[in-house]
Structure 1
C-alpha cells in the first residue's frame, strides 16, 4: 500500500532555537489580544491558541520514588460564537493505578475588554465537573465563565502519574491555529525513551544535559545488648545523576482542516510520542520495555486479562461440541461459531483488547466488551480445531499504530490462518461477516499474535469490491412527470452498512426519508430482500413517481438520466492535499437504466459516451448511452479499486471527479416530433 508524505522523525538532532527568549506566561493578557477581531493568518478561525506550553518531568519522593508530572499552560482567543467550545476542557485520568494518578486545574481565568479595561472572571468550583467513564478512567472537565466573542481564556493543569511507560502524547497542532507551542521533557539518565513525531510539520529541537541531585533519607534501628533501648539513626544521602532536557518548539501552525475521505485527522496532526524503552538504575540489570513489535505483543499476550483468557474453555465446550458435530468443512465451522457468538453475547459498547469482566462472566451475562467477545470467539475457534489467533487493532478513532507501543492498540479481533489466507472476524457487530469487519476496524494494519509469542502484520483493508448495482426503468410523460421501477442490490460492506442503518428503523420513517432525499418522489410497493441473510446480496425494490425530476421548457424536455443518483458536487475542494484519500473499502457503483420517451417526442441530443481510466488503474468511470426507437439505454459505472489512494494522486482524482460529475449532469434533450 503506497502511503506517502507521512513523515516520521527520530529526535537525534541538536538544533539551535531562536524563539525561547519570548515570554509566554499566564496572567499577562494584553489589550491588543482582547481587541483582536480575527486571526491575522486565518480569518475563518473561530478561535486560536495564542500559546501552549508544557513540561514533563520526573519528580522524586521518598514514598513513591519517581513520578511523572506534566504541567500545561494555555491561552486561547475566542473570535466567534462557534469557538465557544474551546472555553471547555476535558481530560481523562486513570483511577486504576497505585499510587493514584491526579489531575488538577488552576489559574483558570476568562478575560474580557469592558470599557477599555481588562475584566477578569475566575473559574469557580461550580465550573469543574468529574464524571466516571468506566472502572479504569474518570474525566475532569472545566467550563470557563463569562465567555464572549473576543474573550481570552487561560488555564493550567497538572497531571501526576506513576505511569512512566507512555507519557501522554503532545499535540502541537489542532483544529484551530496555534501561534506558539513549546514542550519540554526532563528525563533522568536511568530512563531511555523512543521518541517520534508524526505529521507534516517538525518542531525545532534543543537538547541539553544537566546535573541533578536528589536526597534520600534512610533510617536504621539498632538494639544494643542487654536491656538497652532500641535506637534509631537517620542518614541523608545525595545521589547525583544526569538529566536530558529536550525542548520542542513550533510557531504559526495552521488549523488542521478535515477533508473528504480522511479516516482520522489526528493521524496527520503534528504531535510527539514518547515510549519507554529501557530502565537501568545503578547496580541493577537493564529492564527492557517496548523496543519492537514482537516484544510489545509478547507483553500483551502475557497480560492476565488477555492470553490466559484464551485457555479457558470449560464454560463453552458442551455447546460448541454439539454445534460443530454435524459440520465437516472449516468454512461451516467458522460460520456456525461466528454466528453463535454474535447471537449469544452482545457488545456493551466498550473497546479494549483485554477482557473487562473475563470470558466466563461475559458468556454467563451474555454481554461483554470487545476483548471479552473476540477472545471468547478465538478460544472457541481453537477448540474446534481451527488455527485461530487474536489480532490487535488500533481503531480509526484511536489513530494509526505507526510505532511499537503497547498503548498503540485499543481493540482486538480474531483471525484464522488457512491455506487461502487469513479470515478476519469481529463478533461485536451483528451484521459483520467473515472478512467484512465493522468500519471502525479498517485502520491500515493490525498485529496477529500466535501462541508461541511470535507476531506478524495483518493488512486490515478489504480487497474485495463492494458493489451497488441499480437497475431502473422509467417513463417520462409530456408534463415532465416520471414513473418507474427501481431495483438496488448491495454486497459486502455496502450491504453491512445498509443493514446497520435500517436496523430497528421503522420502514415508514425510512421510506419518508428516502423520498425526501431523492427529489421528493413518491414510493409504492416497497420490498426488501435478504435483510437477515448476511451471506446473500441485500436488495430493495420499489415503484416511484416524481414531478420534480426533469424540466419542461416550451416544447422541450430536459432529463438528467441518472435522476436522483447523480453526483452533485466534487468532494475534493482543496487545492492541494497532504493526507491519503481513505475510502475504507474498494467499490463499484453500477447503473443500468432504461428510459421510455413520451409519445410525440424524439431525441434531440444525448451526452456523448465516456470511458475514463485512472492513473495506475486505481479506478475508472464509464458512461455509455444508446437510443433505439422510443427507448434510451444507459449504462454507468464508477469504480475505485483500492481502499486507500495516496495523496500523490490527489490532483488526478480531483480532476477525475470533476469530469465524472460534469458528465453525469449533462442532460438528455427531447423535443416534439
Structure 2
C-alpha cells in the first residue's frame, strides 16, 4: 500500500460552513456536570472534554516584532479512576538559540461535589513542573490536586512564541469524547498560512475579515539631552479571523495493529506559506521536501557534524584493516558504534552533544550516534547518507516541513538498493531497524542537497518456523519437544523480549500461557549472532491439552500454538492494519497416537488465499499408520493493509481460526 493512498483516505477536503460559537467560561462549573456519572453518548468513557477553547493571535512587540500568543482553556470531567491521568497535563515548548517559548499555566482548579456543595481545590506551586528534554525542546507540566471519580478539572495555559514559521496544531479529537472544541485564529494580512485538516470527521468552519491594528515604536534621540525616546503611530491592517468548532466528537478508539492512532485524529496543522509586508517583496516559506532537507543539512548540528572525522580515524583504520568487502565494512562499523556509544533515549535529527563528545563520553542522542555512523561509513569509502525519519510514536510525516521528523538513521547506497542502518539498538543489523523507525517513508539527504523518499517498511519475509514432535498416552498426557526458529524482525522481537526478563520468569509465563505445561531441557542459541536465526528448544509435558470423553480423546493438533480468536472484530475498520513487517508462521507437527487407539476423524486439509497476493494460509494433514503429520503456514506479504481490504482480511482470519481450532478425534479400539 502506497503512502498517497493513505493520505487520500485520511486527509479530507477543507470545507467552509456556518458555525456558531458557544459561551463557556472557566469557573462556571455546574452541579449537573459534577453529578453526571457516565458520559451520555459513551458509557465506557473514563473521562471527557466538556469544552476546550483556544485562540491564536499575533501581537506586535516593539522589541521582538510579531509574536504568536496562543491561549487555551480546558474543562475535563473524570468518570473513572482510569481517567485520573487526565489530571496530568503537559505542554511542550521549543528552544531556539537558547530562547524558550513561554508557557504559563493559570486558573487550574479541581471541582468536587461534597454534601451537595461545590468544593474547589486550586493548584499550588508544587504541582507545576518544568522539564528540558533536549536543547531544542522542553515540557511544562501540571498535576491537578484532589482528583476523584466525578471530579471536574479546569485549567488555562498561554504560549508566547517568536516562531512564526508554524502555529500550534489543534486536536479536535482525543482518546476520550470531546463535547465541544473551539479554535479561533486571528492572522494579519502580512502572513499567509497553509491550513491542513486531517481525520475522518471535520469541524465546522467560519471565516471573516476584521480590522486589526498595532502600535509601531520608532526610536529617536533627544537633540538636547541625547537620551533615546520613542515616537509611536498606529498601524491598521486586515485580519483573517477563522473559527473552527467541533461538537460531540467521539473518542479515538485504538484498534489492533495500528501504529499510531493519532495519525487519524481530527486536527489542524499550520505551515507558513509566505509573508507580504508593505513595501517589501513577497517572501515564500512553504517549501518542498528538497528545500526542507537542504535546510536541515546545513544546520550547524547536522551537516557539519558529518564532516568531523579526526576523532575516530585511527580506531577505524585498525578496525577495517582485514575487511575484504563492503558488506564486511558495513557490519564492522555498525557493530563498532553499537558497542562503543550508547543511546541516551533522546530522539532528534540534531546532535545534542556533537559527535566528538558523544564518542568520547560513549553516549549520545539518535543524531549523535547515527550521524557518527554515517561519517564513519563515508570515511571507509562507502556511499553513505543520513535518512530523516519520523518515528511511529511521532506520526507519519505527511507534509514538507522541518518539524515532520524527529529521528535520523544511516543509509548506504548500493547497486542493489539502500542498506538501512541504526546503531542505537543492540539487536539491529543491516536492513533490520528498531520497530520505532518502521514508519512509512524517510527522506535521504545527499551532500549535494538532493534528496529522495526512502521506503522504511520491510519487504523481506520474517519467518517463525516451529517444529513440534509429541506423543499422546492413553490417559491423554502429552510429552513432546519444540524447536522454534525465528529470522529477521521476528528474531529481533525474540531477542528484545529476552533482554527485559529473566529466563525463569519467561518460562513460567510460557508454561502458564501454554495450557499449564511443564518445560524442561530449555535452551536458546544465536542470541548474539544477529545475522543468524534465533533458535529456542525445549521439552514439555502437558496433562490438560486433551479432552477425554468416554472412550475418545479430543485434541487440537496445534496444541497451544493454535490461534483461537480473530483479532479483527470490528464491523468497520477506520484505520489501515499495520503488521509492522511481512511474515510467515510455519508449523511442522508430528503426532504419535497412543497404542490401542485409532483415528476416528481428522480435520480436512485446505487453503485460504487473499487477493493481490496479500497473504495465504495452508493446512495439510496426513496419516501414516499411528503417526500424523501436520503442515501449516500463514503468510502476510504486506507490512500495511489498507482499510479497504479489511473485510477480506477479517474473513481470512476467521477462516484460519476456524481451521486451527478443529480437533482430531481418537477412539479406543
- Say whether the fold is shared (TM-score over 0.5): yes
Which stretch shifts more, 243-252 or 636-645? 243-252
- Cα 1:65–1:474 change in 2 (3 A) is same
What is the deviation of 1:119?
3.0
Measured in 2, the distance between the counterparts of 1:44 and 1:642 equals: 34
Measured in 2, the distance between the counterparts of 1:297 and 1:392 equals: 8
Measured in 2, the distance between the counterparts of 1:306 and 1:55 equals: 35
Query: What is the DSSP-based 3-state SS (H/G/I as helix, E as strand, rest coil) of the residue aligned with 2:468?
Result: strand
In the alignment, structure 1 residue 514 sits paired with structure 2 residue 514: no
Answer whether contact 1:64 1:99 (CA < 8 A) is retained: no
Partner in structure 2 of residue 191 of structure 1:
191
Partner in structure 1 of residue 50 of structure 2:
50
Query: What is the DSSP-based 3-state SS (H/G/I as helix, E as strand, rest coil) of the residue aligned with 2:74?
Result: strand
Query: What is the DSSP-based 3-state SS (H/G/I as helix, E as strand, rest coil) of the residue aligned with 2:658?
Result: helix
Answer whether contact 1:213 1:240 (CA < 8 A) is retained: yes
Answer whether contact 1:290 1:406 (CA < 8 A) is retained: no
- Taking the TM superposition and a 5 Å limit, the aligned residue runs for 1:256-405 are 256-405=252-401
Equivalent of 2:17 in 10, 15, 18: 15
- Taking the TM superposition and a 5 Å limit, the aligned residue runs for 1:120-199 are 120-199=120-199
Answer whether contact 1:97 1:162 (CA < 8 A) is retained: no
Equivalent of 2:438 in 442, 445, 448: 442
What is the deviation of 1:504?
6.2
In the alignment, structure 1 residue 607 sits paired with structure 2 residue 603: yes
- Structure 1 segments (4+ residues) deviating >6 Å: none
Query: What is the DSSP-based 3-state SS (H/G/I as helix, E as strand, rest coil) of the residue aligned with 1:150?
Result: coil
What is the deviation of 1:439?
0.4
What is the deviation of 1:168?
1.9
Measured in 2, the distance between the counterparts of 1:55 and 1:487 equals: 61
Measured in 2, the distance between the counterparts of 1:320 and 1:241 equals: 61
- Cα 1:484–1:387 change in 2 (3 A) is same
Which stretch shifts more, 322-331 or 641-650? 322-331
Measured in 1, the distance between the counterparts of 2:297 and 2:654 equals: 49
- Taking the TM superposition and a 5 Å limit, the aligned residue runs for 1:489-528 are 489-503=485-499, 505-528=501-524
What is the deviation of 1:132?
4.0
Partner in structure 2 of residue 209 of structure 1:
209
What is the deviation of 1:14?
4.0
Unaligned runs of 5+ in 1: none
What is the deviation of 1:428?
0.6
Query: What is the DSSP-based 3-state SS (H/G/I as helix, E as strand, rest coil) of the residue aligned with 1:568?
Result: coil
Partner in structure 2 of residue 218 of structure 1:
218
Answer whether contact 1:57 1:68 (CA < 8 A) is retained: yes
What is the deviation of 1:253?
0.5
What is the deviation of 1:9?
4.3
Note the alpha carbon deviations across 1:577-630, whole angstroms, 9 max, x for none.
110000000000000000000000001111111200012220011111111110
Equivalent of 1:424 in 413, 420, 424: 420
Measured in 1, the distance between the counterparts of 2:507 and 2:10 equals: 47
What is the deviation of 1:113?
2.9
Note the alpha carbon deviations across 1:42-82, whole angstroms, 9 max, x for none.
11111111111111111111122211111111111222222
Q: When the two structures are aligned, how many residues end up with a matched partner?
A: 666
Measured in 1, the distance between the counterparts of 2:63 and 2:23 equals: 36
What is the deviation of 1:90?
1.9
Note the alpha carbon deviations across 1:347-380, whole angstroms, 9 max, x for none.
1111111111111111111111110111111111
Answer whether contact 1:98 1:162 (CA < 8 A) is retained: no
Partner in structure 2 of residue 626 of structure 1:
622
- Taking the TM superposition and a 5 Å limit, the aligned residue runs for 1:591-670 are 591-670=587-666
Measured in 2, the distance between the counterparts of 1:455 and 1:342 equals: 27
Partner in structure 2 of residue 587 of structure 1:
583
Q: Normalising to structure 2: TM-score of the pair?
A: 0.96
Q: Normalising to structure 1: TM-score of the pair?
A: 0.96
Query: What is the DSSP-based 3-state SS (H/G/I as helix, E as strand, rest coil) of the residue aligned with 1:83?
Result: helix
Equivalent of 1:478 in 474, 479, 498: 474
- Taking the TM superposition and a 5 Å limit, the aligned residue runs for 1:5-44 are 6-9=9-12, 11=14, 13-17=15-19, 19-20=20-21, 22-44=22-44
Answer whether contact 2:10 2:264 (CA < 8 A) is retained: no
Query: What is the DSSP-based 3-state SS (H/G/I as helix, E as strand, rest coil) of the residue aligned with 2:653?
Result: helix
- Taking the TM superposition and a 5 Å limit, the aligned residue runs for 1:400-411 are 400-411=396-407
- Cα 1:153–1:347 change in 2 (3 A) is same
What is the deviation of 1:95?
4.8
Alpha-carbon RMSD: 1.8
- Cα 1:231–1:161 change in 2 (3 A) is closer
What is the deviation of 1:233?
5.4
- Cα 1:239–1:482 change in 2 (3 A) is same
Query: What is the DSSP-based 3-state SS (H/G/I as helix, E as strand, rest coil) of the residue aligned with 1:457?
Result: strand
Query: What is the DSSP-based 3-state SS (H/G/I as helix, E as strand, rest coil) of the residue aligned with 1:660?
Result: helix
What is the deviation of 1:282?
2.5
Query: What is the DSSP-based 3-state SS (H/G/I as helix, E as strand, rest coil) of the residue aligned with 2:299?
Result: coil
Measured in 1, the distance between the counterparts of 2:585 and 2:391 equals: 27
Query: What is the DSSP-based 3-state SS (H/G/I as helix, E as strand, rest coil) of the residue aligned with 2:368?
Result: helix
Partner in structure 2 of residue 254 of structure 1:
250
- Cα 1:82–1:509 change in 2 (3 A) is closer
Answer whether contact 1:166 1:407 (CA < 8 A) is retained: no
Answer whether contact 1:530 1:536 (CA < 8 A) is retained: yes
- Cα 1:10–1:287 change in 2 (3 A) is farther
- Cα 1:115–1:510 change in 2 (3 A) is closer
